[in-house]
Structure 1
Amino acid sequence: MSIAERFMNRYSNPWKGGKAGRQAAILTLMLALALPASAKVETDKVYDPVSPTVEQARANILIARQLQFTHFRDMSINDSLSGDVFDAYLEYLDGQRIYLTKKDIENFSAVRMGLGSALKTGQLQPGFDIYNLVQQRIIQRLEFALSLIDKGVGNLNFEAEESILLDRSEADWEADTDALDALWVKRLKNAVLAQRLNGTDDEAIEEALRRRYEGQLKRVYQARSEDAFQAYMNAFAGMWDPHTSYFSPRTSENFNINMSLSLEGIGAVLQSDNEYTKVVRLVPGGPAAKQGQLEPADRIVSVKQEDEEKAVNVIGWRLDEVVDLIRGPRESTVTLEVIPADAPDETVTETIAIKRDNVKLEEQSASKEVIKFDRNNETFQIGVIHIPTFYADFKAMQEGDPNYKSTTRDVRKLIDELKAEGVDGVVMDLRNNGGGALHEANDLVGLFIEKGPTVQIRNSNNDVQVLNDEDPSVAYDGPLVVLVNRMSASASEIFAGAIQDYGRGLVVGSQTFGKGTVQAVRPLNHGQLKITQSKFYRVSGGSTQHKGVIPDIEIPSRVDKTRIGEDALDHALPWDQIEAVPHTRYFDFSGVIDELRTRHDNRFKDHPEFQLLKKEIEFLKQQREQTTVSLNLEDRKEYQSQIESTRLSIANARREIHGGEPFDTLDELDEWQDQQAADLDSTDEELDFIVHEGGNIMADMLELDQRMASIMNLKQITAQAQAR
């Protein structure tokens, strides 16, 4: 069938759709001129281009209306937005710029500014044609890579002084197919080198890479209309903010409002990241969090079931299919091959075995401990309360169970127990707490203040709702420190921000995530739309969005803020502020904060754990700044040796601090870590030094408070004596 015939079949009368229909028809014809009738490469298989359905077109129109009229961000669909949607769509389809050529991009130039009008009226074909072209280019690239493997990886030259760019997201598009061929030769060399240096022989390398590329090919040939539609709609919806997204009917079945796309089995929240599936966060109390090796920003390469010999490569897979593969019966083990978040390049992977289980509410519960500090012949007892998430047993609550579990109820009990033990101060540990039930954050603030506002919520109409603590009782009125880090988000930020605004306690740690928006899920005729409808503001008026909560005393973190956090996300809503609401200021720390910071700095100056943390942060920073990697075997060996040596030295330094024997090799370290991770009942006897520092800061506050009290008492006695 000719291009013209295919075009006429697609649009029997495109002009009756008005201006938008004519634009879409012209764009489609222009794209058709760049598309072969089918993608037939060195195989008997033929790629069958996907086409939009009537239901998808209707859903597209509904999505466009919802975005324009109900999203918090007031934004129109215009030519400027068209260009941004086009760029985001290409970023999703070919984010590393390894499939399309500069000529392909030039052929898209006429399409770039017309997508907006088409998206307003459900004209989806231009987006589908872009998708189909990219899929065909992917097939061509994968077939080329397989042809190189067929010739034998031993024929590749690893003696030349070559290097490869690790992140191509900002690179120029390659000029033509020949340039792409040269790039893919380098990509293959990089993959082979990484496995050779791990001790894998060439035959096993060829088998593994062939399996990877053939698996990706299989996924491309199985492309569905819904794949193109979901990718296109998410590029479109993502223009408003990164938390607004479209869920296909199948994805909607897996969606849980409290825990988007969390996996039944390992307890991890995942999202698509170009051709990879990326870990967003771990569910507190879940198997992955307890196992301890999987980390946010890790990317999943393959998944292996315990009863299978070979892993299934999932690069290029749909998110819902990766979810299905990782799910499984309780007590069974799934093994994930991941690219660690701090890996120097995509060829560095590690294998993590996780035993599937249900996430139990009691394992997410708040817990406590007491630590003691000796200062000037006086001992201070500091209570520490760890809160992994803001939870509530809604089912038990609705059934009228008087003993239902919730964050606030559990913390109140822990506070009573700590008070009975005679603690002098309390440290609330909200590190890695990604949020949860909003009303629990509101109620938790109420345990530490008398009646008053806790958070403001503004919608797209600028209407502001103020949540209040209506209970005048206070569970704890003593000194308070709140620990946070980059993974503290949403409800955690509301609590920390309120405590800071009320002057009720000090916030210690690193800048929080900055998730200050509220989403709602709206049903469509086809799937669902998760849309941002409101924004959180502190009682002082500043938003928690984008900026998060800035600690009063900062402690550096290993987390790369340029990759994790709201301000690292494209199109994130900005920080702003509204009017403050009247609230009590319990204490003004301005008179003591400088002294507290000085004491903290002096303690950390020679603290072995902190010095080690700084070394790790610098090591990770150097790796992130490495933009290229050598393809010369000897140079690569030296580079890997340096990385392994640094890893081993850091691990042994930590072992020495805790009185352990040093590891002789990296293999020995990895084996020990696997054993520790496999023993889910094991506990770390050493107190987390960040928690310990939170206690030290509390002890400083108590000492300074006593000093100030003594000064005030002395002044009072002097004044009385003078009065006589």
Structure 2
Amino acid sequence: MIKNIAVSLVFIFSVTCAVAKPPEAPKLIPTKVQSQTIVDVIAQLNARHYRNQAIDDSLSTRFLESYIDSLDPAHMFFYTKDVENFKKHNLKYDDYFRKGKLEEGFEVYRTYRARVVSRLESAIEMLADENVKFDFNAKDEIILDRSELPWPTTQAEADELWYKRTKLSLLNLKLAGKTLEEAKETVTKRYKNQLNRILQQDSADVFEIMVNSLTLLFDPHTNYWSPRTSENFNINMSLSLEGIGAVLQSEDEFTKVVSLVPGGPASKQGQLKPADRIVGVGQGDEGEVVDVTGWRLDEVVDRIRGPKNTVVRLEVLPAKESNGETAVIRIKRDEVKLEDQAAKKGVLELSDEERLYKIGVINLPAFYINFDKANSRDPDYRSSTRDVSRLLDELQAEGVDGIILDLRNNGGGSLREATMLTDLFIDHGTVVQIRTPDGYIARHNHARLRAKYRGPLIVLVNRLSASASEIFAGAIQDYDRGLIVGTQTFGKGTVQSVAPTVEGKIKLTESKFYRVSGDSTQHRGIIPDIELPMLVDMKEVGESAYDNALPWDTIHPVPHAKYFDLDASIPYLTEAHKKRIAHDPDFNYLLDQIAVMEENKRKKAVSLNEKQRIAEKENLEKQAMVIENKRRTGKGQDPYKTLAEYRAAQEEENPEDAPVVSSRETVIDLDGDTLLNESGNILIDYIRFQTTNAQKQASNFSK
């Protein structure tokens, strides 16, 4: 995981220019209420968290490592002597926290703040010093991920780290079209902004960082919220009202995109992707892009939010890139309405060379329900189950041969809706088991009616299908009711609740989801029967990417029906799928893109030589043109003859503003969706297998 950048060249720069005296920083001293709060947090973790973990000397050691890493993940600020000094309290934090003693933890932060202030002031002075030269013709490089490298032992080592860090920032801006002076001005502003942020931190900020360094040792979804975070951030940190429609989280010094709200502005615009890291935010088309590295998450969110129909520009480090270059993405803010996340349908017409098949497709971006109207018994309330039920009726009236339920990018939602949706496809039976820390297992989430749709079914998933999506897909797989096709899912199989503390709130993981088979959905997610690729790094996205995620495990299964003998068909379907995609230009284009992405991610360092970087960028474009021409040739289209022709075509295909799509339209455009088309072909293979092997198939559906 990229956490920061570093260097290996000895360089000591001189300081000749004065920096304006910064405002006096607040004194960082723990309060009496904070002392009471840490005692309360410890008690709640002990009593209520699903993970039965002792708060002892071992956890104390891990806490200090977690705390230091949260402050300085790239090992750019602390010195080795600082870290060694902190370790004298290595085994004592468990005892300190039980007694409400916070001074030692605050001293770590005070040292951190002193190091950051000193380093940023020096970097600002360096940029203003005409005697400091940045040679972009030297053969030099910079290590991208310093998380496993040692802290500097001397100021000279730290100076060389920051010289190269600054040089990389300047080079990236030069490659984006700025002059060296313009680049220096931009980087200076960034460092001044970071300096202002650190000087504005108060004891509440320190306490929140410290406590979360402890809670995250229990699992990644257990967090402490200060009163300010609770008030400003609305629990799930989602920009889902008037903003861009993205779920964000802090990771190291960056703001990371966890997922995009289906139907939201960012999702429609198409350029922002999960695992991208936001490093700058600009207002409107002309506003300065302000560096937000190291900012609190709620402050970044405040800058991204804004009135409907206004523009925000995000400077991001794309997850698929590894060279440290940023991209600026322009998004028009809008309100995400229920209709934007509503289920939609379409029909794929595919041929197996013998006959034409009609495959019904239902895209479900989220498990939603209008609770207010449902609770007031409004007969017309909206819900995912009601909408899917209606679309099933319409597709069956159109005479479809089978159904694909597309849950790609569906991050979950209502557990009740996941249960009720399953009810449309199976007869009475348990859908999910929920286990609490004391071992109690609830199995009250049942499908209760006869199945509405009884025909061939595929559930299409990917790495961003999570939580309620995994409950539904797991039930369909366990009952052998339909095929699961796609990518291994996210693996979010835990339940959280929010409780007050003496000051602020704590979100605790208190139970886990289990399938009727007894397998947890946690960590492992759902493994598809037939796997399809996805242009997302599985190591960067998903529950398994988090430190301290609760493990996958099993409990006793629940007796359940098996509707079809899918195991008999999967080898045949897999073989047919492999033969078909071997000659599919679009499918192989996706595989080629993934290969390039993986090759890129293996790079450990980036060149600081301008000519080499320009050559590398052009080579990447040529590589992209080669695989695009391979696809075009396979489809009988003319290949691009020059890089200029290819670039022009790319700009045409990726306009800044996404086309406006009516949010109330219930029909979806299925053109160009390679994975959906292949899923349709798999469903056709399955229908044919059922037909030719009818005597071997056993159905538990009553007639």
Q: Structure 1 counterpart of 2:323, which letter?
A: D
Distance in structure 2 (CA, Å) of the matches to 1:442 and 1:705 = 27
Structure 2 residue 664 is the aligned partner of structure 1 residue 691:
no
Q: Give the alignment of 1:632-651 within 5 angstroms.
A: 632-650=609-627
Q: Structure 2 counterpart of 1:698, which letter?
A: L
Q: Structure 1 counterpart of 2:64, which letter?
A: F
> What is the CA deviation profile of residues 441-491 of structure 1, one whole-angstrom value per residue up to 9, with x for unaligned ones?
011111111100000000011100013335232110111111111111000
The answer to whether the 8 A contact 1:292-1:677 is kept is no
Offset of 1:257 from its aligned partner? 5.2
- Say how many residue pairs are matched: 672
**2:103 paired residue number:** 125
**1:679 paired residue number:** 659
Distance in structure 2 (CA, Å) of the matches to 1:121 and 1:648 = 63
**1:313 paired residue number:** 291
The answer to whether the 8 A contact 1:338-1:350 is kept is yes
**1:351 paired residue number:** 328
Q: Structure 2 counterpart of 1:411, which letter?
A: V
Q: Give the alignment of 1:144-543 within 5 angstroms.
A: 144-152=122-130, 155-256=133-234, 264-306=242-284, 309-346=287-324, 348-543=325-520
Q: Structure 1 counterpart of 2:245, which letter?
A: G
**2:583 paired residue number:** 606
Structure 2 residue 94 is the aligned partner of structure 1 residue 109:
no
Gaps in structure 2 of 5+ consecutive residues: 1-17, 663-667, 698-703
Instruction: Identify if the C-alpha distance between structure 1 residues 648 and 250 changes in structure 2 by more than 3 Å, giving closer, same or farther.
Output: farther
Offset of 1:639 from its aligned partner? 2.2
| Higher RCO (C-alpha under 8 Å, 6+ residues apart) | 2
TM superposition score normalised by structure 2 = 0.92
Offset of 1:704 from its aligned partner? 1.1
Distance in structure 2 (CA, Å) of the matches to 1:658 and 1:332 = 42
Q: Structure 2 counterpart of 1:136, which letter?
A: A
**Range moving further from structure 2, 555-564 or 575-584:** 555-564
Q: Which has a greater percent of helix?
A: 1
Offset of 1:711 from its aligned partner? 8.7
**Range moving further from structure 2, 441-450 or 302-311:** 302-311
The answer to whether the 8 A contact 1:263-1:326 is kept is no
Q: 1:193 is paired with a residue of what secondary structure? A: helix
Distance in structure 1 (CA, Å) of the matches to 2:515 and 2:287 = 53
Instruction: Identify if the C-alpha distance between structure 1 residues 652 and 218 changes in structure 2 by more than 3 Å, giving closer, same or farther.
Output: farther
Offset of 1:637 from its aligned partner? 2.6
**2:14 paired residue number:** none
**Range moving further from structure 2, 671-680 or 434-443:** 671-680
Q: Structure 2 counterpart of 1:542, which letter?
A: D
Distance in structure 2 (CA, Å) of the matches to 1:205 and 1:271 = 29
Structure 2 residue 685 is the aligned partner of structure 1 residue 703:
no
**Range moving further from structure 2, 237-246 or 109-118:** 109-118
**Range moving further from structure 2, 539-548 or 137-146:** 137-146
Offset of 1:98 from its aligned partner? 0.6
Distance in structure 1 (CA, Å) of the matches to 2:112 and 2:430 = 52
Instruction: Identify if the C-alpha distance between structure 1 residues 651 and 404 changes in structure 2 by more than 3 Å, giving closer, same or farther.
Output: farther
Cα RMSD (Å): 2.2
Instruction: Identify if the C-alpha distance between structure 1 residues 669 and 94 changes in structure 2 by more than 3 Å, giving closer, same or farther.
Output: farther
Q: Structure 1 counterpart of 2:93, which letter?
A: L
- Within the candidate set 631, 636, 658, 2:608 is matched to 631
Instruction: Identify if the C-alpha distance between structure 1 residues 676 and 177 changes in structure 2 by more than 3 Å, giving closer, same or farther.
Output: closer
Identity of counterpart residues, as a percentage? 46
Structure 2 residue 46 is the aligned partner of structure 1 residue 61:
no
Offset of 1:307 from its aligned partner? 7.2
The answer to whether the 8 A contact 2:208-2:225 is kept is yes
Distance in structure 1 (CA, Å) of the matches to 2:198 and 2:317 = 22
Instruction: Identify if the C-alpha distance between structure 1 residues 489 and 50 changes in structure 2 by more than 3 Å, giving closer, same or farther.
Output: same
**1:549 paired residue number:** 526
Distance in structure 2 (CA, Å) of the matches to 1:387 and 1:549 = 17
> What is the CA deviation profile of residues 373-413 of structure 1, one whole-angstrom value per residue up to 9, with x for unaligned ones?
22353222111110101100111112221111111111100
Instruction: Identify if the C-alpha distance between structure 1 residues 678 and 204 changes in structure 2 by more than 3 Å, giving closer, same or farther.
Output: farther
**Range moving further from structure 2, 442-451 or 135-144:** 135-144
Q: 1:450 is paired with a residue of what secondary structure? A: coil
The answer to whether the 8 A contact 2:463-2:487 is kept is yes
Q: Structure 2 counterpart of 1:145, which letter?
A: A
Distance in structure 2 (CA, Å) of the matches to 1:551 and 1:261 = 31
**Range moving further from structure 2, 179-188 or 251-260:** 251-260
**1:19 paired residue number:** none
**Range moving further from structure 2, 621-630 or 496-505:** 621-630
Instruction: Identify if the C-alpha distance between structure 1 residues 595 and 147 changes in structure 2 by more than 3 Å, giving closer, same or farther.
Output: same
Instruction: Identify if the C-alpha distance between structure 1 residues 240 and 217 changes in structure 2 by more than 3 Å, giving closer, same or farther.
Output: same
**Range moving further from structure 2, 569-578 or 225-234:** 225-234
Q: Structure 2 counterpart of 1:532, which letter?
A: T
Distance in structure 2 (CA, Å) of the matches to 1:278 and 1:385 = 30
Instruction: Identify if the C-alpha distance between structure 1 residues 127 and 707 changes in structure 2 by more than 3 Å, giving closer, same or farther.
Output: same
Distance in structure 1 (CA, Å) of the matches to 2:571 and 2:49 = 43
> What is the CA deviation profile of residues 189-241 of structure 1, one whole-angstrom value per residue up to 9, with x for unaligned ones?
21122222222211110111111111111111111111111111111100100
Distance in structure 2 (CA, Å) of the matches to 1:124 and 1:66 = 18
Q: 2:536 is paired with a residue of what secondary structure? A: coil
The answer to whether the 8 A contact 1:47-1:136 is kept is no
Q: Structure 2 counterpart of 1:191, which letter?
A: S
Distance in structure 1 (CA, Å) of the matches to 2:616 and 2:132 = 22
Distance in structure 2 (CA, Å) of the matches to 1:132 and 1:345 = 33
Q: Structure 1 counterpart of 2:196, which letter?
A: K
Instruction: Identify if the C-alpha distance between structure 1 residues 415 and 311 changes in structure 2 by more than 3 Å, giving closer, same or farther.
Output: same
Distance in structure 2 (CA, Å) of the matches to 1:353 and 1:160 = 34
> What is the CA deviation profile of residues 44-63 of structure 1, one whole-angstrom value per residue up to 9, with x for unaligned ones?
23544411122222221111
Q: 1:675 is paired with a residue of what secondary structure? A: coil
Distance in structure 2 (CA, Å) of the matches to 1:660 and 1:570 = 48
Instruction: Identify if the C-alpha distance between structure 1 residues 375 and 634 changes in structure 2 by more than 3 Å, giving closer, same or farther.
Output: closer
Gaps in structure 1 of 5+ consecutive residues: 1-40, 713-724
Structure 2 residue 114 is the aligned partner of structure 1 residue 136:
yes
**Range moving further from structure 2, 647-656 or 192-201:** 647-656
Q: 2:396 is paired with a residue of what secondary structure? A: helix
Distance in structure 2 (CA, Å) of the matches to 1:196 and 1:396 = 55
**2:3 paired residue number:** none
Offset of 1:332 from its aligned partner? 1.0
Structure 2 residue 85 is the aligned partner of structure 1 residue 91:
no
Distance in structure 2 (CA, Å) of the matches to 1:329 and 1:153 = 46
Distance in structure 2 (CA, Å) of the matches to 1:660 and 1:359 = 40
**Range moving further from structure 2, 149-158 or 139-148:** 149-158
Offset of 1:249 from its aligned partner? 1.1
Distance in structure 2 (CA, Å) of the matches to 1:691 and 1:519 = 33
The answer to whether the 8 A contact 1:59-1:524 is kept is yes
Instruction: Identify if the C-alpha distance between structure 1 residues 357 and 691 changes in structure 2 by more than 3 Å, giving closer, same or farther.
Output: same
The answer to whether the 8 A contact 1:344-1:623 is kept is yes
